[in-house]
Amino acid sequence: MDDEQLARTELDELYRKFSSSSQGLSTAQAASQLKLSGPNIISKARGESQLKAFFKSFSSMMAVLLWVSGVIAIFAGMSELGVAIWTVNVINGLFSFWQEFAAKKATDSLMKLLPTYAHVYRDGKLQQIDATQLVPGDIFSVQAGNSVSADARIIESDELEVDESALTGESLLVSKSSAFAKGAGKFAYSNLVYAGTTVASGSGLAIALATGMKTEFGQIARLTQSTKQVDSPLHLELNRLTRQLSIIAVSIGILFFLAAVFFVKNPIAKSFIFALGMIVAFIPEGLLPTVTLSLAQAVQRMARKNALVKNLNSVETLGETTVIATDKTGTLTQNQMTINHVWTKESEYEVTGEGYVKNGQIREKNKPIHLGRHPALKQLITIASLDNDTEVQPAKSLKDRPKIIGTPTEASLVILAQKSGIDLADLKQALPRIHELTFDSRRQRMSTIHQASDGKRLILTKGALDFVLAVTDRILDHGVERAITDDDKTEILAANRRYAGDGLRSLAFAYRSFEDDSDPKTYHVSNCEQHLIFVGLAAMSDPPRPEIYEAIRKAHAAGIKIIMVTGDSELTAKSIATRIGLVSESARVVTGAELSKMTTDQLKDALAGEIIFARVAPEQKYQIVTALQSMGHIVASTGDGVNDAPALKKANIGVAMGVTGTDVAKDAADMILTDDNFASIVAAIEEGRVVYADIQKFLLYILNSNLPEAVPSVLFLLSGGTIPLSLTVMQILTVDLGTDMLPALGLGAEKIEAGVMDQPPRDRHAHLLTKNLLLKAFAWYGLWGSIISTAAYFFANWTFGWPGQALVSSGGDYRKATTMTLAGIVFFQIAAALNARTQRTSVFKIGVFSNYHIDFGILFEILLLLLLMYVPFLQNLFQTGPLNSNEWLLLACIPVPMVLLEEARKALVRKYRHAS
Ligand code: ADP
Ligand code: MG
């Protein structure tokens, strides 16, 4: 059937076609259907791009240069050299392909950590299942904030509006209902919804018609698999860096080529190969894949710390974050609500017990109460029970926790009702619900309308105190509904202030009964939530998360400002914020109402100091984020609801809640917290800083071998050939594409260095390659490497009789001399890898060999060197020869003074507090 038919068919016939009913499928039916239709997944075919990536790693500028050089070498009669160059090139290509592949795999697997759920009727009961298990014929609910899991036909709906822009590109919201209508365009059926779209508001029930790749979205995905990845600023900078260094390398190469031909009078082919050595020495070939892999590894580390980053770019931005704008409830606190106090005009009550279990009592002056004697309390509990969409399922076993289907706030009310001993089932039967005015964070209220047996109707409302008082004109006082006075209000506000001062959240309750028999669909906020009768307050605790104190301390030490942006009241917000060390007593609290009247300049002024935002609507977060950005801040902002999406998109790092967040928020975000925990944001920022530092570390490492590699050629040229090449082209290739590779990779996985969170955030415009880093690479590390390798070379010649005789230029002794130079560089690089591990911390403090990636890299380096020196075939290719024990001893000593020298420098840096 096509869409037209599916939209027009009678529902009963659809049920029959899918062997379903208005009660949905049975578990057994769903299981057998799942075998037929397959899991509800949009699969990605990316075989092609794999192959492309493979060829790409063999066609970089440097790879092409090496291919060509190999050809030239062969034509010039140096076929062994040609083959060797190609071999090195292939190995290098495979290695970078593997790096890219590993990086991709690491990031791909992350999204599996974030399941999406569907709410379906199975065996006649509403159940939450993994959305991949949804099958055609399932009846499922569609809810504001969530994405639609399958192509489906609407069975019933309540002010349902969907955002189909993912499918149609149109950003206008579309109303959906069970009635058939057809507009213009392919997807314009009013009673069909499509997978991949999201529900903007309202709710409904639908029957799944198609799942997985059979959905419209799946069909489109099949056609347009290759979504283009945007290059991050980091990648752009690395590209620029590679290009600049390549230009320098090629210029030097040309210069050396000309000098070799005209000055030293070398044959052209030999001069070319010689110049090639210089070019290869200076091009940072492994840079891009190594960076990609280290970013991907950072992303995996973040995931282990409960922060899922959707895109590698964000890793970098995280490291630059200067402000975190965060929610309170659930992010800073545990979202574990327990009602502790109830206030009515008659009395005040304490509630004992904790958590989502029934053990506890409602007490008045330390004595248990009898509900029948407290009409106002009874009324409050009635409202709390009925004006409530949450179900608490008791723990099934001792190890289990009670399960909440709904929100923690409402769950605490369910538990309060249980503690009061009221019979919920009876209550629901006596007062059936006929309509609901759902909670929204702008109005901060929720109401339900019920049909009483005496023919009257009842509106039950709960919400934030100020927002409930605003629609109240009477109060329930000892069984009498009378006008509310200013004195009453003062009394209520005083009670509320007491609770809020203790960091408790409060909820107010009100009701009204009226005679009416009109269609419940005509009830709206404007005609219902007015002239209410105030009943009382319930105050609930929501303890701060235990890890929050340390996370806030860390963020502050790292120069990151934290701004609480909450829908909760000023007093509660401030009380919690000061308690957890977020702000001091003198912090300013700005309410949403004040914020809406502020000019941009006033807002910026306020943002410069300590500040908390309370009673703000999610939409106002956008305004706060924008103002912060215009002040030059890099902003991370949290959110969970549909209305948070604009702020999440606007923020440099949008952070969505993985547990309580809506699909819309998760879609809009750059990072998702699988535990909703503020501390995870700080952990991710720390990783973001670390990975940037790591990239600089291996940049330093791969750059510092350039000078030692270049010195032999310079000496050769300047001496007009009197000093023979102490390092052959193949040996340069060996260092650059062989021995340096794994230790460099290991530096990319270097762990957190003490102090990364004791510095202010990195300047967003600062370049990766700083003057300091260049100085360190060339004038410090590079200098020592050059001295050592050159010394090793002259030492070898000295043992052969130099300076009494000329420097050796061929034969076994020459090979031994070049081998000493090569080995000198390799052993120096061993020290360099260990030195580069930290910027200022002593490497002894973190344990010299504590990064096993590097240790393994060093072993590999030595192994490779041994192979080159002792395998006859390789000896010929690489112009190497065996060394004796004295020479080995000398080499083995090199790393020790090098590490100590660097330790001295780091100690000086620490002492004088200069940045590295
Ligand atoms: P936050 O998550 O920042 O604490 P919310 O926007 O979730 O703030 O809630 C704002 C206020 O709305 C709460 O302080 C509470 O008084 C009220 N509220 C929250 N949930 C409900 C609900 N389900 N029904 C009625 N009122 C609610
Ligand atoms: Mg909230």
The 3-state secondary structure of 148-185 reads: CCCEEEEEEEEEEEEECHHHHCCCCEEEECCCCCECCC
> Using CA positions, which residue lies closest to atom 13 of ligand 1?
568
Collect all residues with Cβ–Cβ distance below 8 Å to 148 and sequence separation of at least 6: 142, 162, 193, 194, 195, 196, 197, 198, 199, 206
Cα dihedral sign, 73-78-79-84: negative
Does the pLDDT of residue 594 top 90, yes or no?
A: yes
The confidence score (pLDDT) of residue 687 equals 94
Does the pLDDT of residue 914 top 70, yes or no?
A: no
Question: What is the 3 state secondary structure string of 271-284?
Answer: HHHHHHHHHHHHCC
- Fold classification of 706-739+770-916 is Calcium-transporting ATPase, transmembrane domain (1.20.1110)
- DSSP string of 309-343? ESSHHHHHHHHH--EEEE-STTTTB----EEEEEE
> Using CA positions, which residue lies closest to atom 27 of ligand 1?
463
Collect all residues with Cβ–Cβ distance below 8 Å to 854 and sequence separation of at least 6: 743, 746, 747, 750, 833, 834, 837
Measure 507 CA to ligand 1 centroid, in angstroms: 8
> Using CA positions, which residue lies closest to atom 10 of ligand 1?
567
Assign domain 3-37+112-214 to its CATH architecture.
Answer: Distorted Sandwich (2.70)
Measure 462 CA to ligand 1 centroid, in angstroms: 10
| 3 state DSSP class of 659 | coil
**Over the stretch 286-315, which tens digit does the pLDDT of each residue have?**
777 888 888 888 899 999 999 999 888 888
**Over the stretch 180-200, which tens digit does the pLDDT of each residue have?**
988 877 888 999 999 988 898
Does residue 327 have an active-site annotation? yes
- Fold classification of 317-333+546-677 is Rossmann fold (3.40.50)
Nearest to 283 by CA among 322, 317, 241: 241
Say if 317-333+546-677 and 706-739+770-916 have the same CATH topology: no
Measure 388 CA to ligand 1 centroid, in angstroms: 13
Catalytic residue among 327, 568, 644, 740: 327
**Over the stretch 619-670, which tens digit does the pLDDT of each residue have?**
899 999 999 999 999 999 999 988 899 999 999 999 999 988 888 899 889 9
The confidence score (pLDDT) of residue 55 equals 85
Collect all residues with Cβ–Cβ distance below 8 Å to 174 and sequence separation of at least 6: 161, 162, 163, 164, 188
Does the pLDDT of residue 230 top 60, yes or no?
A: no
Q: Is 535 in contact with 480 (CB distance < 8 Å)?
A: no
For the chain, give the mean pLDDT. Answer: 90
**Over the stretch 170-184, which tens digit does the pLDDT of each residue have?**
778 889 999 898 887
Cα separation, 87 vs 443, whole angstroms: 70
Cα separation, 488 vs 491, whole angstroms: 5
Nearest to 758 by CA among 555, 547, 552: 555
Cα separation, 831 vs 854, whole angstroms: 11
Ligand nearest to the CA of 406: 1
Return the ligand 1 atom nearest residue 328 CA: 3
> Using CA positions, which residue lies closest to atom 12 of ligand 1?
444
Strand ranges inside 361-518, DSSP E: 362-364, 367-368, 391-393, 403-405, 433-440, 445-451, 457-463, 472-477, 480-483, 505-514
The confidence score (pLDDT) of residue 231 equals 63
Cα separation, 107 vs 287, whole angstroms: 19
Per-residue pLDDT band at 228 (split at 50, 70, 90): very low
Helix 741-748, helix 678-704: angle, nearest 10: 160
**Over the stretch 401-456, which tens digit does the pLDDT of each residue have?**
888 888 899 999 999 999 999 999 999 999 999 999 989 888 999 999 999 988 89
Ligand nearest to the CA of 409: 1
Cα separation, 80 vs 90, whole angstroms: 15
Measure 506 CA to ligand 1 centroid, in angstroms: 9
The confidence score (pLDDT) of residue 225 equals 46
For range 481-503, the mean pLDDT: 95
Regarding the beta carbon of 409 and ligand 1, being less than 6 Å apart is answered yes
Statement: 345-485+496-535 belongs to CATH 1.25.60.10 = no
Does the pLDDT of residue 773 top 80, yes or no?
A: yes
For range 705-709, the mean pLDDT: 91
Does the pLDDT of residue 48 top 70, yes or no?
A: no
Does the pLDDT of residue 553 top 80, yes or no?
A: yes
Regarding the beta carbon of 327 and ligand 1, being less than 6 Å apart is answered yes
Cα separation, 43 vs 767, whole angstroms: 39
Cα separation, 798 vs 780, whole angstroms: 27
| Residues pairing with 636 in the sheet | 324, 653
> Using CA positions, which residue lies closest to atom 5 of ligand 1?
567
| 3 state DSSP class of 229 | coil
Q: Is 677 in contact with 305 (CB distance < 8 Å)?
A: no
Per-residue pLDDT band at 584 (split at 50, 70, 90): very high
Does the pLDDT of residue 562 top 90, yes or no?
A: yes
Does the pLDDT of residue 109 top 80, yes or no?
A: no
Regarding the beta carbon of 446 and ligand 1, being less than 6 Å apart is answered yes
Sequence spans of domains, the chain: 3-37+112-214, 317-333+546-677, 345-485+496-535, 706-739+770-916
Return the ligand 1 atom nearest residue 389 CA: 23
List the helix and strand counts (H, then E) for the chain. 37, 28
For range 39-63, the mean pLDDT: 76
Nearest to 786 by CA among 753, 847, 829: 829
In 387-523, where does DSSP find H-type helix?
A: 408-420, 424-430, 465-469, 486-501
Rg of the chain, C-alpha, whole Å: 35
> Using CA positions, which residue lies closest to atom 26 of ligand 1?
463
Regarding the beta carbon of 542 and ligand 1, being less than 6 Å apart is answered no
